[in-house]
Structure 1
Amino acid sequence: MESFENFWQIYSNLVLTLGINAMLALSIYITLSCGMLSLANAAFMGIGAYTSSILTMSYEAPFALALAGGIAMPMLVAFILGKVTLHLSGVYLAMATLAFGEVVRITVLNTESLTGGALGLNGIPNQTQWWHVLLALAVVLAMLACLRRSKVGRAFEAIKEDETAAGLMGINTNANKMLAFVLGACIAGLAGGLSAHLTYFIGPNEYGFDRAVEILTMAILGGINSLIGPVVGSLFLTLLPELLRGLNDFRLVVNGLLLVLVVLFLPRGLWDPARFKRLFGRQAKKGAQ
């Protein structure tokens, strides 16, 4: 028991960060599953983090209410942004959402009285507990699992495969893409609120281009063919720098090399159900022989 307490004191933030990063990977999974390459999730995370932190620090709102605000504000912003940008696709949508992230960062920098500007917000109450992260991740996974098996999930898949054909089949492509976009913002905002009340401090540079690419990498690296893939990718990308800490100056080099090798040799991600079926099928045939 004592050894577990020592472990938790040292690594509790890392363990909770694993759950938060898993939610971020799932937030972009939902947009990718509808065929949209959006890089706005880091900005939505920042909006959720700042909204919930301001509600807690300036208005002494209860933690649950602050989290609710951190979810609602990104959803509202995503709805407004989606009205303007979701007619775009591919790299054009990525560029538009990336530009939106920069707009959010500049806005935070220039509203010092509210957001602290470049100095960020310091002294955020540490209210995020392990069960908050576990419950949030479980709810997100359950919601996305139900969505994946529903009529909406099948519509997402049809739009991802061929948006024009999906529209000709009677699927409301605009409404479904908006739903995926807003749901992604909802999950990212929740992750941002939990993260802000875990780390005591948030700053505008935490939600910029680097974080946007990191969130996308977690989902792609794990694989977007199932819900487990983004979670596996987030675990791998979060733990890898810690596991390579002993390499000192060579840590980033080895980190990048491992990521390149995974992309080259596992193009469908670390978690590929089809690959596992083929592997187990071969083993079963060998056993039968």
Structure 2
Amino acid sequence: MSSFDNFWAVYSNLILSLGINSLLALSIWLTLACGMLAIANAAFMGIGAYTASILTMNYGVPFPVAIAGGMAAPALVAFIMGKPTLRLSGVYLAMATLAFGEVVRIAILNAESLTGGALGLNGIPQSTQWWHVLLALVLVLLVLWRVRRSKVGRAFEAIKEDETAAGLMGIDVAAHKMLAFVLGGAIAGLAGTLNAHLTFFIGPGEYGFNRAVDILTMTILGGINGLTGPVLGAVILTILPEALRGLAGFRLVINGLILVLIVLFLPKGIWDPVRLRQWFGRKGDAA
């Protein structure tokens, strides 16, 4: 038992980060599954983290209430922001949401009395336990699995394939896009809340461009053809920096290289059920 305690003391944060990063990857998977390249999830994570941290530190609210607030705040911001922004598509939507992330970061820097500015917030209660992360991940996976198999999920798929054709079939494209955007923001806020109450400290630099690229890389690496892909990508890219600790300074270079290789050789990500069935089918025929 002592050996497990020692292992958990050393690697507990890394293991819990696997679950938190999986939530982040699933949050952007939701928008990608609806055909939207929106890169605001790092900003939503920051909004959720700061909202929940301020609630627990300044107002002493219970952790479950802080979690609810950390999910509701980015969801509300996503709804307000999505009204004008989701009319855009492709690279224009990516640029708009990326700019929104910078606006959030600068707002956090300037609101020193509330957010601590560049110094961030320190001394956040360590309320996140392993079962919080596990329960959150399981519930999010169940909800997204149900959504994917529902009429809403089929509408997402139709919009991703051809937005114009989906509209002609009677699908409310704007409403479904807004749903994916808001739900993705809430999941990112949940991840931010759990992370903030795990690490004691948060700062504006944690929710900028680098984090946005990390989240996108996780999802594209794993693949967007199922819920397994984002989780797999999050696990790989969370463990990789730890395994290559000496190359930590080149993390963005490694992420960029991974993206290039995936686009060239595995355009649908590592988890591609069709490709895997074909591969195993050839193996079976050869046997």
Q: Work out whether the TM-score is over 0.5.
A: yes
2:88 is the alignment partner of 1:88: yes
CA distance in 2, matches of 1:116, 1:59: 16
Aligned CA distance change for structure 1 residues 282 and 195 (closer, same or farther; 3 Å): same
State the aligned residue count.
Answer: 287
CA distance in 2, matches of 1:280, 1:199: 42
Identity over aligned residues, as a percent? 74
Q: Secondary structure at the match of 1:201?
A: coil
Shift of 1:260: 4.2
Select between 134-143 and 248-257 the one with higher mean Cα deviation. 248-257
CA distance in 1, matches of 2:77, 2:49: 14
CA distance in 2, matches of 1:109, 1:65: 25
* Structure 2 residue aligned with 1:26: 26
* Structure 2 residue aligned with 1:171: 171
2:234 is the alignment partner of 1:234: yes
CA contact (8 A) 2:214 2:255 kept: no
CA contact (8 A) 1:240 1:255 kept: no
CA distance in 2, matches of 1:245, 1:75: 35
CA contact (8 A) 2:31 2:184 kept: yes
Amino acid aligned to 1:60:
G
* Structure 2 residue aligned with 1:205: 205
Q: Secondary structure at the match of 1:6?
A: helix
* Structure 2 residue aligned with 1:267: 267
CA contact (8 A) 1:244 1:251 kept: no
* Structure 2 residue aligned with 1:109: 109
Amino acid aligned to 1:47:
I
CA distance in 1, matches of 2:237, 2:6: 24
Aligned CA distance change for structure 1 residues 151 and 62 (closer, same or farther; 3 Å): same
CA distance in 1, matches of 2:119, 2:61: 23
* Structure 1 residue aligned with 2:151: 151
* Structure 1 residue aligned with 2:57: 57
Q: Secondary structure at the match of 2:70?
A: helix
* Structure 2 residue aligned with 1:37: 37
Q: Secondary structure at the match of 1:205?
A: helix
Select between 172-181 and 236-245 the one with higher mean Cα deviation. 236-245
Using the size of structure 1 for normalisation, the TM-score is: 0.95
Aligned CA distance change for structure 1 residues 283 and 77 (closer, same or farther; 3 Å): same
Aligned CA distance change for structure 1 residues 263 and 2 (closer, same or farther; 3 Å): farther
Aligned CA distance change for structure 1 residues 248 and 219 (closer, same or farther; 3 Å): closer
CA distance in 2, matches of 1:250, 1:122: 28
Instruction: Give unmatched runs, 5+ long, in structure 2.
Output: none
CA contact (8 A) 2:217 2:259 kept: no
Q: Secondary structure at the match of 2:143?
A: helix
CA contact (8 A) 2:145 2:227 kept: yes
Shift of 1:243: 1.1
Shift of 1:274: 1.2
Alpha-carbon displacement from aligned partner over 1:92-117 (angstroms, at most 9, x marks no partner):
11111111111111111111000000
RMSD between aligned residues: 1.6
Shift of 1:245: 2.1
Shift of 1:246: 5.1
2:24 is the alignment partner of 1:48: no
Amino acid aligned to 1:81:
M
* Structure 1 residue aligned with 2:186: 186
Amino acid aligned to 1:206:
E
Shift of 1:251: 7.5
Amino acid aligned to 1:238:
T
Instruction: Give unmatched runs, 5+ long, in structure 1.
Output: none
Aligned CA distance change for structure 1 residues 177 and 254 (closer, same or farther; 3 Å): closer
Alpha-carbon displacement from aligned partner over 1:31-84 (angstroms, at most 9, x marks no partner):
000000001100000000000000000000100001110000001000000111
CA contact (8 A) 1:244 1:255 kept: no
CA distance in 2, matches of 1:38, 1:258: 20
Aligned CA distance change for structure 1 residues 142 and 286 (closer, same or farther; 3 Å): same
2:48 is the alignment partner of 1:13: no
